[in-house]
Chain A
Amino acid sequence: MPNTSSRALLMSASAALALAAGAVGADTLRIGLASEPTSVDPHYHNLGPNNALARHIFTPLIVQDANQLLEPGLATEWEAIDDTTWRLTLREGVTFSNGDPFTARDVIYTICRIPLVPDAPSPFTLYTRAIAGLEAENDYTLIVTTDGPAPLLPNQLSTFGIVSASVSGAEDEVVFGGDECTGVGDAPASAEFNSPDFAIGTGPYTLGAYIRGEELRLSRNENFFGDAPVWDEIVMRPLTNSGARVAALLAGDVHMIENPPTQDIARIEGDGFTISSGLSNRVIYIALDQGDAPTPGIDGDINPLQDARVREALALSIDREAIRDRLMLGLSEPAGELLPAPMFGTNPDRPAIPYNPDRARELLAEAGYDDGFSIVLGTPNDRYINDGPISQAVAQMWTQVGVRTEVDAKTFSAFIADRNGFNFSAFLAGWGAGTGEMSSPLGALVATRDPDRSLGGTNLARHSNTEIDDLLVEALQTVDDGERERLLREASTIAMDTFAIVPIHYELTTWALAPGLEYEARADQYTLGAAVLRAD
């Protein structure tokens, strides 16, 4: 096998180079990305790598810190005047990287532009939909009105960066009008943002160059309103092959990499490199099709998954600790809900789902499946940490309680196509709560599918429970934090008690850094070069 032998060569070569790899010189930080942003446009694709890149160049009104708590961004204060009205106080004296002053006009323009982004694969309208009115009292005060109570408005405003109205070709006066804004001009296409002349924001860095598939260069924004950025220049290189990424780090070609493979972490640390890891907001779950009988992955005209006892059996037969210890090498936390405690709306006392194969067999027998049944488990094999191996381990565990399981592993794009076509009876996937609270996973994965209420968008298991829906809808209209959290906790408890969905674990996100560098692990899994610090 030529592959194998050249790989072995590479291995020893990189081991030798690792000794030569010193601390970070100069003031350039080089990062190896696991996946590349699809555009520099901050409003094009609501995707982790894009959002992380956007945070360097464009500042949102409100920013999320490493634990997804809200902090002032371009807005210094935000308060709810009543159930449907919010007042935002904008930061004064901020200039864009081209020297233009930042005012309320840029905010109105940004919110007007979001629905106008052509062909957005995952638009940000999800986060602006609640806004019914937007008026500038003066250049630095904005009044936001919403259709109904919108308690998540601050979280929603933290998901997108503010772009410059002037650079984008807006008129002097931009007026928000719900569906139709005036004075927007010709909204620029997303591709235009890939040029440094157009990607003008208020963030700590400016775009130097963007060469798709090769390199992304960011330079320090001298006009940045916050603390002066540490690095003169940040260079990001997409290194999608995990082995190549580790080799690049060990060889000193890059100073920081995303997602080092779990099995390499001990070795990386042994060589004196730093590992930063922290609990993410991403849950890895298995969805069980409860829509129709028959269901595509199970033989016969039956759908045993509609029976909560069968779902419970499948949940209990997964040994989450074995997966953590043997496959994730400690880099996961067994889950009992869809969001790790103590995030907003979680039940901190609820334990992870226990491993109880005997009870699982009993439940299957009670449900009338003494002999089990056979099922196909769909899974991506290049999206989540160890996704393919986890699915195979689950297949083992299910088979051991009598549910004969076959794994259908595909690359993520092929998997998504099959999943969205309802071709799986069971599939493994992950959900990162962008807003950092419980209504995100519950609303997307468990609530009854209802495009009109934008609920259940990713509920491809077609679970439906009006009790959960009602609690969720009520929570989404409750501005009082305590009451909203109570409602979300109750909804989550019902969903977990009925095994609407089977959580496996929360991913720990890891970064590996050259000796002498530090990075605080972020729950949203973003890699922010601007937040990498020297240890001294």
Chain B
Amino acid sequence: MNNQVHPVREAIKHAVLILGALIVILPFYVMVSYSLKSPHEIESNTGGFFGAQEPMVDEYCVKLGNPRDACVETPVVYNYTQAFKKAPLLRYLLNGILVTASIFIIQVLVALPCAYALSKLRFWGRDFVFGLVMFCLLIPVHAIALPIYIMLAKIGLTNTYASLVIPWTISVFGIFLMRQFFMTVPDDLIDAARMDGMSEFSIIWKVMLPTAVPALLAFAIFSVVAHWNDYFWPRVAITGNRDLYTPPLGLREFKGDADGSIWGPMMATATIIVTPLIAAFLLAQRRFIEGITLSGMK
């Protein structure tokens, strides 16, 4: 295999890769650019990336009876303040954080003890339970959405925070992953802890948990990314109660208003929702790629 770089071939490869990169980046460019521009610039497709940032008059603010001078803003300020004013975006973001964090914490509380028992404790029926875990890995979450919705509706739990969290409390994938990891932890470590008089319960949280931090971190990324971005389940579970909207549901509301001036604030909202994960990804790429492709270990 020749290792010398053929300059023309190398240039062609880069040209293809750059073309691909431009197509991949295009919607991100559109999103950020339009979140900076005035409605007029958006409709006429002018102003370059940043827009001219000429002060504009907020007509709605004038309609409310404010003096014209007090309603003048630059487009970027207008878009981002409107994003928070037209809809309770802050509330949606907090809902998103609350739901995502609750899901992850409950998943860990359920999965870690189970994974520990399946990997380090001997008891009758253990293989059967592990078989159950392997079987449940086959069930895609989208296939249980409808019956879960019916069950939640029957017990009156739709349109609650609980309904957003309950279907995700069990992560068989998390159990499987943590079990595989615990199998590699030496038994001596656990025996030593037992000698010291530790209960099995505290062994999980004081001995096993600290050794599992890398695996747990990868699982955290896997879980948080999936549920922060999830749209299907919140759409199904939450019908109408805006106080419970997660960020994607909140963003989707913008589409209802056909008014042209909404595009800027809508793109600002999209930018605000997408940025946290993208920023975290750029800071810790390795870990993120590891976490997202975790399902590759199935």
Do A and B share a complex? Answer: no
